[in-house]
Every structure is written in structure tokens, then in C-alpha cells.
Structure 1
Amino acid sequence: MYGGRARHGRTGADVCDEGVLDRYSGGATPPSGTNGTATSTNEGIGPISYAQHTQHSTRARATAGARGARRRAGRGAWTALVATGLAAGITLAAAPAQAATQGPGQDGPGYSTRIIGGSDSTEAYPFVVSLQKERDGDPNSHACGGTLIAPDWVLTAAHCLSTEKLNDPAQYHVRVGSLDRTEGGTVAQVEKFVVHPEWKYYEDHEDGQDVGLIKLAEKVEKTPAPLATTKPQPGDTVKATGWGYTSAADDDPKQLPVKHQEVDLPVLDPSTPRCNSTPEDGDAWGIAEGDFCVDNTDGKVGTCGGDSGAPGLIKVAGRWEVAGLNSRGVGECATAADIFTSVADHHDWITSVIG
């Protein structure tokens, strides 16, 4: 998260950490009999399900295909790395493991940089989550943000969990309830990933429904965040949070901040032109049904790669509720509006999955 991010220049359009995840690119056709709901389990039998990959929409894309991969807020530095082993088309199983409190991780260069127009979080958020995996010798490299919404369920963006296929849950773990992504909180293993049945992965645009769930292998003793039941309205303020890049020039996961960042952003009317398109990419990454849009104040403040899946918070009756999931930017980091998936719009699906 920062002001002045360059989300286009990466290789996808979500705000995950693109250099951190390994994306499946084998071009395989989804197996027959799969439906739109993609889940990855530890059952050890049968093919992994796909989110159906259908024909691209007719949105104006300009150079979105080349630039878009960085637009997805959470894919950022992870997009180039998400699913080693998926190309073989094998069944993926998450090894059972107990949740455990972990010690400090490894620091790297660039961690002291703060978001432009934002700051290190000082208030405890027991529900904040860093989705992590091993990368380049770092066992706790940050992939995406998330929110604990039940003792054994984490809410995040679908693009953090899947491309043409679901990522292997066995490669991931989460750190819950720490403002430092390298230490503290509780570390838990992942049992399975679930993505919304209407979400579909596209290289060069986003059609919405960018919401997914992570089932943990064991319950954690942290306070979950309540789900918002009303959508933020124009003029409201949403607190964007995460561990995303703090400079437009950053593109290496080692440059992601260690300390959790936050910034207040105003909600825009969905008809606002900057919520819908840019001259460079048309409406490829604009607002869709089930989303809301926040402004990047003065073109200097906003979210970026590594912030995908992280919560947009609103305070209701003195408590924080998760109102949105960081999905993507309409344009370059902190120069265009940001798009969040609305939790209220997906409340029924979320609760139907977690029970």
C-alpha cells in the first residue's frame, strides 16, 4: 500500500504480490464435470476443480493484457510464482498441521518505507492475516492479505487463491493477528481454498466476484472480524490496510513492508468515470457488480501490489467490520481509483460456505 504505485506495469491486474506467487500457465482445459465453484481439499482423490475459464468480455482493454497482471492488488510480486506443480494436473493435498505461534521471520531491504499518505498501524487488529509461502529461501514470504472471519476461516480475494486452477493449499500458511508479518500472532496451516462460483480468471481484465475463502487446518484463538451487512456509500470513508508495496518503483517481495500499513480512502459513486476506466486500459479493470470504488487522494495515496485480499474496514457502533476486499486498481498505483469487492454483496455466499 502506498501513494504513487504502478500497478499496471506488473504482469497481471490484481494487487497480490506478483513476484511471490507462481501462476499456472499450462493452458489446460478444465476437466469435464466441474462447476464454477473451485475448491482445493486435502482429500487426496479426484482432480482439483477449476473456476471456469470462459470467453473474455468485450471490454476495451488497450494494453491491459501486458500491463494488467500488476493491477490485481494482491498478485503483485507473487503473480510470477503461484502454483509450482500445478502444471502436472495432479490432485493437491494440504498436509494436516496444527496452528502454532511462530518466532520472528527474516527481514530484508526496504522494510522501513511507509505508505505515502498512510502510516504504520498502531491499533491492534486481531483479525488481520498475511497469506504466506516459501520463496527464495524465505519461508514466510507475503503473498496476499486476508481477514479472519471465523476461528478457522479467512476471507480474501479469489485471485490470491487461483488462476486457471486453484493454487496448492499445502504450499501456504497464514499469520493471524500480528501487525508484523514476520513474527508474532498465530501461524496456521491451510486445509483448502474456495473461490466464488462466478469468479473467473482472466489475464487482461476483471469481471468481479473476486472473493475467496481459506479453510484453516485448525481453529485459532483470535477475535474474528464481523462481516459488514451494508455496502459503503459514496462519501463514506474506508480504512484500507495491508502489507503492499510502498513505492511505485518496488517490484521485489523483499521490498514489501514488515509493518502493517493503513490509510483512509473516500468511497466514490460507482458512476464516477475514474472508477470505470482509464485512457490506457479502457474499462478492463473498472468497477463491476458487487464492487465498490475508493479514490486515491490527490493521486498520491492508495494500495498496490501485495495488498490484494486485505480488508477495507469501516467502524460500526465502535467496532471494526470488514466491508471490502482489496481487488484491483483501475489504473496505476495511487494514480487511479481502487476497486474493493463488497462483503455485503457476497454475504450470503460467504456465510453459506463457512456455516
Structure 2
Amino acid sequence: METAREESAQGSEDDAAQEDATSVADVSVEVATVDATLNKLCRRYNRRRRRAKKIKKKNPILDLQNLAILITVVVFVIVVIMWSLLWVFIFRRESNSGVYFAGMFRVANVEFIPEYRHADSSEFVSMANRIQHVITSVYRTSSVSRLYKQTVISDLSNNNQGGVLVHFWMIFVVPHLKGPSVCEDCVSAILKDSVHMSLKNRSSVGFLQGLPVDIDSILVNVALRSDYSSTAVGSQCVDKLYAGVPDVSIPLNVFSSWGGLSCYIKLTSAPGSVIRLTVKSFRIDPSDCVYDALTVYDSLLPMRGMILFRFCEPVSAPISLVSTSNVMLLSFRLTQGNKIFQGLFQALMEEQCMNMIALPAGPGDAGVITSPFNPSLLPRQCSCTWMFQMPSSALGVALRFQNYMLKLKDLQNCEHGWWKVNEIIYCGNYVDHSTVFRIPAQNPEVVFRCSSRSAAQPFSATYSSYNTSQPCPEGHFLCSTGLCVEKFRRCDGLDDCQDESDEIFCSKPPKICESSSPLHPLYICNGEMDCSSGKDEINCTQETSCSGVSYQCGNGACILKKNAKCDGLPDCYDRSDEKDCACGNPTPSKRVSDSAATQQRIVGGINALEGEWPWQVSMHFSGQLYCGASALSDEWLISAAHCFSKERLADPRMWMAHLGMLNQGNAKHVAEIRRFVVHEYYNARNFDYDIALVQLKKAWPSSLAQYIQPICLPAPSQTFTEGHRCWVTGWGYRSEQDKVLPTVLQKAEVSIISQSECKRSYGAISPRMLCAGVPSGEQDACRGDSGGPLSCQAHSGGRWFLTGIVSWGSGCGRPNLPGVYTRVAKFIDWIQRHIQNL
């Protein structure tokens, strides 16, 4: 089974993640109030007592008054203390035991009136009371009747499908030690079962105790108590805006320069329209939405299942997104500081996306098709149909996408677009290169439907006609990506097809050193003496045309030398190849003894030395080793995307980075995490684009340079021939069956394997992956090593480069099934863009 090499976090997650924790500050305020009252009354009594002593007269009336005051004070203090204890231990406990749900459904066959938009109108109150009574009746007679507390109708909105869309809160009281828990699916099922019993004639509308409800519209999500209190009627930080006229822009501006802010803006528009939100500028501190965030919901309540998009980073260029109906909720969470949001929203009338396209017979691009609402992000739900008409049965339609590709649908759902082309289903995926999809039919019908859980990147494609009997021009090779490249480019060492289909399964080019004809580009200036005469390694600083196998200098010029970066020789005219080379040069301690080095083995590994791999980082989730990482600078680490891509793993507050560590538990520096940057095209199904950046909250001190040092990033042209020896390191398991992690950092030597052999082993290998291992499988990475480095030297004694990131594999240490690594050289521009801009 192909698995990511990650270590499952141990222990269950805290149940308090689903509700707010008890506030110690709230309790201390009550206690302080009692103490203050008691002290105040005691001081008053003591002053009167002192005055009585000064008079030195025994007045029985005054003694009775003092006694009455004393008794009153004692009784008052006892009452206050009892009430405080009652509130803290009973009422407060009941409040903390509350489980909150946000939900919505459509009431059909009911006419929406404008007064429903105002919660203080008698019409709203009347309808809300009716719906509330119905929901209460359903749950009072259900299996959770003892736990049900109340329902609160938050909003009534018009709906593009007709009727009234109801947004509501439900509250259950679940004592921590008594009664069963209330699950999200259970609460939703109670509503659906009540409606399902009355469905007739395949209609989706049934009756909820006489209330016509669309069963397909029922959605219930667990929510936080803070969300409920923040959006409740009468809240001071909830604003409602209405767009009644299509295409009229309504400005939105939010400023938070005087402290923290947590507010909501509810947007609605006229029936038959959708809402387009445009974010022009958003100044926040990037923190993975933990502190500063703008969350956009496809509803009027903060429901997890209706999240349209989350802004977790500053926005400089405008971004727009579209709702699926005529409602939208903006949830702002801004911490202290000068935080600014500027944007606008407008109503857009719904349009049928259906196009008839007639193509000319001649060559060349004929036009462009785009995703709905382009250049806005794709909504969660949408549909578009294009019907092409060709002038001849010998012609088909070619769609050239810029950052998108179509593949036949398998047993899994389509996560980035569902396509039907002449009754055949395809799934869309985002990539960072062009692809061509050909339809060999005269009059094809192409249907597209949105299928992402949230707003997705838009796409566009140029369409043209092509000869179905000869897709590519004469003298060209047809790539698996649909691109056409010249035949002479096959097996030239360059990935012209963008998926290596022109480079795999090529016979190794001969080394013709004695001939006057030039050597194959693979052998020229690759750092190895392929010809005894050395002719392949001369004139390597000579400028050449820029390509994937040439090194590009800082001034834009390219030279023949492939591994010129940080090799100790200034090869570029501007000497840019030797800049930023304070990396990859460890100073390990001396080995204690050979026997100590072989005490613990991790799939053929041995103990590392102190300071031998100073860029190695151990990433701990909830206090346990989960993944590895590599240091790129004093602020940034690099790891695998699959370590942080799941929702429960995306919270940086749950992670700690242990740097400068040989033995687990003895790190020289432990750092909190500020944020993760997971590659936007990461594919959890095949681990393509499996790369992520990790930003530390605080840089590690320079005094620890002996133990903590960044590893060098390779140049995009970096190349290592098959068999080149590299090292993989980590604290992962020693075998597939092992259940005990080693305490000492392990290292194992592995060899680079050709892409052809890699594809023979696994099949689905992208150009952004590489394989490394040994034929016997005895040296390999395993679970717990994910995200760690595959470190390589271009030559003995040179600097170490981060050639790969531990990504996935079939088991651990299996023969002829090497480890699969993320090819770092393919992501240099992506890495530098994020590190320099953030």
C-alpha cells in the first residue's frame, strides 16, 4: 500500500476543540466581587467600633445596632458565597456543558416578504416562533429529548429556489459525566428522518410537522459557543447589508487599529442573484488563520460545511469569489495592531452557462472558454455546458489549459471539477504547466460542474480544431500531457512534455568521446569525468542558451555547468553562483566507537554524530514526533505537505520544532510555529507537490551555529546521475512492524534511481518526484521520517544540498520498492517567492 511516511499522533485530541473552555477570568471576577464586598462591610463595622470606644459610654441601643449590623454582614456574606458557589459549580458547569449547532434548511411553498430581513419585525417574530416551535417539538420527542435545550432562529432569507431559507442555532446541555454525547450526524438525522417519512413521488420536499421542508437543504454543523454569542440578536458587532440592484458595487471597509476585533457582516441580495465579494486589500499578520483571518461562508451562520474561502495572508492584488446563492457571511478575527480590510460586494444575476461554439476548419486558436465567473474563484457549486460544432468529421476539438488537466475518473470523487465529455467522466486537477485535452468527435458536448469543497482557482482554455488522424504536426512527438514537441527533443535530457513522457524509458546515450561531434547534453559539465580526456568538463563557464539543464546566473545569463551553485568556484561573471552559500557545511563531532554507531538501526541506518546533520529538525505534534523537516534559514524550515494538510494537523499551535538535536528530548533549541505554507497544488491522493514551508515564531540564536545550520537549496538545473550516493536521516521507525522509535538520529545511505526505474516500480511518478534506495530495500526511510531531508553532495567534501524531501513509498525497506522523495529542484522559484515575500 502506498503511504505517506508520517507518524500518527498519539492520544486523542482534546474534546474542548469542539467547544469553548471555561474562562478562569470569569470565575475570578465573581470571587473578587465577594471579597471586595466583605472587606468594605468589615471596614465600615471597624470604624464604628473605634468611634464607640472613644465615647467610652455603654449604650445598649448602640450595642444592639452593632449586633444587627454584624448579623446582617454575616448573612449577606453567606448568601453571596453560596450564590457564587452555586453559579460556579452548577449554572456555570451547565453553560460549559452546552453543545452548539448551527443549521439551515429551506421552507418551501412559503412566500418570502421583505419584513423577514428584520429580526425585530412582527412578521419575522411570528415566522421564527412557528419554526422554532416545530423544531422544538421534533427534538422533544426524539432520543435526545433530555439533552435538548432550545432553538434560536437567527435569520430568514429569500432563496433562489423559492421559499424561505432558515438559519438557526440549536443548543443541547450534555453533562460531562451523565448521558450520551450529541453527535453532528445524529442531530441532522433527526431532522431528515422527520421529513423523510412524508416524502412522496420522488420529491425532495416533505413535511416537518406540517412545515414544508426541502430535505436536500438540511445541513447541521457543530459550532462554537463564541460563534453563537457573537452572532446572537443584539450583538454589537454584527452588521447586515443588502444589495437589491444588480451590478451595483457596495463598499466594505473594516479597520482595527484600537485593539482586537471579532465581527460579522451578513450580506444578502435579491432573489435570482448571487453575491460576488472582491477583496482589494487585506493587511493582517499571516498565522494560518489562528489569530488574524477573514472567513467567508456560503450561508448567514458560521458553519464549517459552508466555508467558501479563508484569507490567512495579506492580500495585495484583488481577489474575488462568488456565492452559490444570494447570501454570504464575512467573519473577521483581527488581533491588536493596525489591521485593514478594503473591498466591495455586488449582486450578480444568475445566468445559464451554455454556449454553442462553431469552429473554423483552419489551424490556430479559435477562441477561449473559461470557468464560470472568471476571473473570480470558482464557487462551490456551478455548471457550464459547451457544445462544439466542427465543419468536418475528420476534425476534433483541442482544449489547451494553462494550469489544469483532465484525467479519467476513478473510484474516488472529483475534488477539483467534474467533467462529462460525450458521456465519459473525467476529473480535473491543478498543475503548474500547460496541457492539451483532445476530443476526437465532430460535435462534442462538454459539461463542467464545480466539485470543490470551497472556492477553487479559476481556469481557462483555448480551443482549436485538429486532425483526428494526426494530432501532432509532421515530425512531432505526442506527449502524455497532450503537448506536441519536436521528435529530435526526445531523450535530450529536457522535460519538454512537462511530465517526462519524452524522457523516460530512453536508452542511455552513448559516450562518444573520441568523435568530433558534441557529447550528449547529459554528460556535458555534470561534475563527473565521463571522458578520460576530460573534454566533457572543459569550458563549463561558457554561456549557452537557457534551459532546464543549464545554470542561470544572477544577471540572467546561463552557463553549461549544471551544478555550479556553491561549489567553491566562481563560475558566473557576476559571481552570483557563490552568493548565499553559508549552508550545508557541518562540523560533526568525532565518533565515540564503532560499536556505539551500530546499536540502533532504522531500515539499515546507523547512529548519526553530534552536529553531522545540523539542518535536521524534529517536528512534534501534541508533544509526539510526527514528521521531520530541514532548516533553510534561522526563520524558515521545509517539510512535506502531507504532514500538515489535514484539518487537525493544520493548527500551528499544536506543533513544536526541535532543532540541533541528536537524541530525542535533548534539543538545543525548541521553537513554536507561526504558520505553514502548503503548496497550493498539493494532491493528497498521489502526493504530487508534496512540499510545505514552516515559519518559526522566533529565530534560533546564532550562538548555536555549531549545532544548527541551514542546508543549501539546489539550483533548478541540479542533476545527479543514476547511482549517486546520498543520505536520508530521521528518527522514524526501524521497520514496518516496529513500534518503538529510536532515540538517536539515524542515517542511511541510498542511491539515486533513474526516473524510468522509478516509474517501473510505481507507475504514477510525476516529474516533481524522485526515487532513492538500494535494490535490496535494506536502507530506506520509514514512518516518522516524512518531511525529512535527502541530503546529497555534488562532489566529495563539497556542501550538502537538499535534493529530496521524504514523501511516500510502498511500505519500508521492501526490495525493488525504493523511497519516493519530493524533487526540491523543481520548487526553487516557489520556495524563494514565499520566503522573500512573507
Alignment TM class, shorter chain as reference: 0.5 to 0.7
Q: Is the 8 A contact 1:42 1:191 kept in 2?
A: no
Deviations 1:170-189 (A, max 9, x none): 11010012112211221000
Give the equivalent residue in structure 2 for 1:147. Answer: 630
Q: Is the 8 A contact 1:164 1:201 kept in 2?
A: no
- In 2, Cα distance between the equivalents of 1:212 and 1:224? 16
Where in structure 2 are the equivalents of 1:1-355 lying within 5 Å? 8=1, 13-20=3-10, 40-47=288-295, 48=310, 113-122=600-609, 124=611, 125-134=613-622, 139=623, 141-163=624-646, 167-202=650-685, 206-221=686-701, 222-229=708-715, 230-250=718-738, 252=739, 255-272=740-757, 275-276=758-759, 283=763, 286-316=764-794, 318-329=798-809, 331-335=810-814, 336-355=817-836
Relative to structure 1, the CA distance from residue 292 to residue 246 in structure 2 (aligned partners, 3 Å threshold; closer, same or farther) is: same
User: Residue 643 of structure 2 aligns to which amino acid in structure 1?
Assistant: C
Give the equivalent residue in structure 2 for 1:75. Answer: none
Deviations 1:48-87 (A, max 9, x none): 569x9999965989xxxxxxxxxxxxxxxxxxxxxxxxxx
Deviations 1:74-113 (A, max 9, x none): xxxxxxxxxxxxxxx9xxxxxxxxxxxxxxxxxxxxxx74
User: Residue 630 of structure 2 aligns to which amino acid in structure 1?
Assistant: T
User: Residue 333 of structure 1 aligns to which amino acid in structure 2?
Assistant: C
Q: Secondary structure at the match of 2:5?
A: strand
Q: Is the 8 A contact 1:234 1:269 kept in 2?
A: yes
User: Residue 227 of structure 1 aligns to which amino acid in structure 2?
Assistant: L
Structure 1 position 224, deviation (Å):
1.2
User: Residue 605 of structure 2 aligns to which amino acid in structure 1?
Assistant: G
Give the equivalent residue in structure 2 for 1:66. Answer: none
- In 2, Cα distance between the equivalents of 1:57 and 1:262? 39
Structure 1 position 130, deviation (Å):
0.4
- In 2, Cα distance between the equivalents of 1:147 and 1:13? 21
User: Residue 663 of structure 2 aligns to which amino acid in structure 1?
Assistant: D
> Which moves more between the two structures, 215-224 or 344-353?
215-224
Relative to structure 1, the CA distance from residue 216 to residue 299 in structure 2 (aligned partners, 3 Å threshold; closer, same or farther) is: same
Structure 1 position 114, deviation (Å):
1.8
Deviations 1:132-185 (A, max 9, x none): 022xxxx3x101000010111000000011136861111101001211221122
Q: Secondary structure at the match of 2:811?
A: coil
- In 2, Cα distance between the equivalents of 1:164 and 1:277? 34
Q: When the two structures are superposed, what TM-score results if normalisation uses the length of structure 1?
A: 0.67
Deviations 1:242-286 (A, max 9, x none): 111002212x4xx111111111111111011xx2366xxx64xx4
- In 2, Cα distance between the equivalents of 1:58 and 1:334? 32
Relative to structure 1, the CA distance from residue 198 to residue 170 in structure 2 (aligned partners, 3 Å threshold; closer, same or farther) is: same
Structure 1 position 43, deviation (Å):
3.4
Relative to structure 1, the CA distance from residue 288 to residue 168 in structure 2 (aligned partners, 3 Å threshold; closer, same or farther) is: same
Q: When the two structures are superposed, what TM-score results if normalisation uses the length of structure 2?
A: 0.30
Structure 1 position 297, deviation (Å):
3.7
Q: Secondary structure at the match of 1:46?
A: strand
Deviations 1:105-129 (A, max 9, x none): xxxxxxx742242201115122110
Structure 1 unaligned blocks of 5 or more: 1-7, 62-88, 90-111
Deviations 1:316-350 (A, max 9, x none): 45222211100001x22111111111111111101
Q: Is the 8 A contact 1:41 1:193 kept in 2?
A: no
Q: Is the 8 A contact 1:20 1:142 kept in 2?
A: no
Relative to structure 1, the CA distance from residue 228 to residue 249 in structure 2 (aligned partners, 3 Å threshold; closer, same or farther) is: same
Give the equivalent residue in structure 1 for 2:146. Answer: none
Relative to structure 1, the CA distance from residue 232 to residue 223 in structure 2 (aligned partners, 3 Å threshold; closer, same or farther) is: same
Relative to structure 1, the CA distance from residue 58 to residue 338 in structure 2 (aligned partners, 3 Å threshold; closer, same or farther) is: farther
- In 2, Cα distance between the equivalents of 1:296 and 1:121? 20
Structure with a larger share of its residues in helix: 2
Relative to structure 1, the CA distance from residue 270 to residue 257 in structure 2 (aligned partners, 3 Å threshold; closer, same or farther) is: same
- In 1, Cα distance between the equivalents of 2:410 and 2:724? 30
- In 1, Cα distance between the equivalents of 2:311 and 2:766? 25
Q: Is the 8 A contact 2:661 2:668 kept in 1?
A: yes
Q: Is the 8 A contact 1:40 1:193 kept in 2?
A: yes
Q: Is the 8 A contact 1:208 1:289 kept in 2?
A: no
Q: Is the 8 A contact 2:721 2:752 kept in 1?
A: yes
- In 2, Cα distance between the equivalents of 1:234 and 1:145? 26
> Matched residue pairs, number?
269
Relative to structure 1, the CA distance from residue 261 to residue 56 in structure 2 (aligned partners, 3 Å threshold; closer, same or farther) is: farther
Structure 1 position 198, deviation (Å):
1.3
Q: Secondary structure at the match of 2:830?
A: helix
Q: Secondary structure at the match of 1:193?
A: strand
- In 2, Cα distance between the equivalents of 1:168 and 1:343? 25
User: Residue 742 of structure 2 aligns to which amino acid in structure 1?
Assistant: P
Relative to structure 1, the CA distance from residue 116 to residue 207 in structure 2 (aligned partners, 3 Å threshold; closer, same or farther) is: closer
Identity %: 26
Q: Is the 8 A contact 1:147 1:310 kept in 2?
A: yes
Structure 2 unaligned blocks of 5 or more: 14-183, 185-218, 220-275, 278-285, 296-309, 313-377, 381-403, 412-453, 455-598, 702-707
- In 2, Cα distance between the equivalents of 1:171 and 1:55? 35
Q: Is the 8 A contact 2:769 2:822 kept in 1?
A: yes
User: Which protein has the larger Cα radius of gyration, Structure 1 or Structure 2?
Assistant: 2
Give the equivalent residue in structure 2 for 1:92. Answer: none
| Greater relative CO (CA pairs within 8 A, separation 6+) | 1
What is the alpha-carbon root mean square deviation over aligned residues? 3.6
Q: Is the 8 A contact 2:642 2:687 kept in 1?
A: no
- In 1, Cα distance between the equivalents of 2:9 and 2:653? 19
- In 2, Cα distance between the equivalents of 1:289 and 1:20? 34
Structure 1 position 39, deviation (Å):
7.7
Q: Secondary structure at the match of 1:298?
A: coil
Relative to structure 1, the CA distance from residue 49 to residue 179 in structure 2 (aligned partners, 3 Å threshold; closer, same or farther) is: farther
Q: Secondary structure at the match of 1:288?
A: coil
Q: Is the 8 A contact 1:129 1:147 kept in 2?
A: yes
Relative to structure 1, the CA distance from residue 227 to residue 191 in structure 2 (aligned partners, 3 Å threshold; closer, same or farther) is: same
Relative to structure 1, the CA distance from residue 39 to residue 159 in structure 2 (aligned partners, 3 Å threshold; closer, same or farther) is: farther
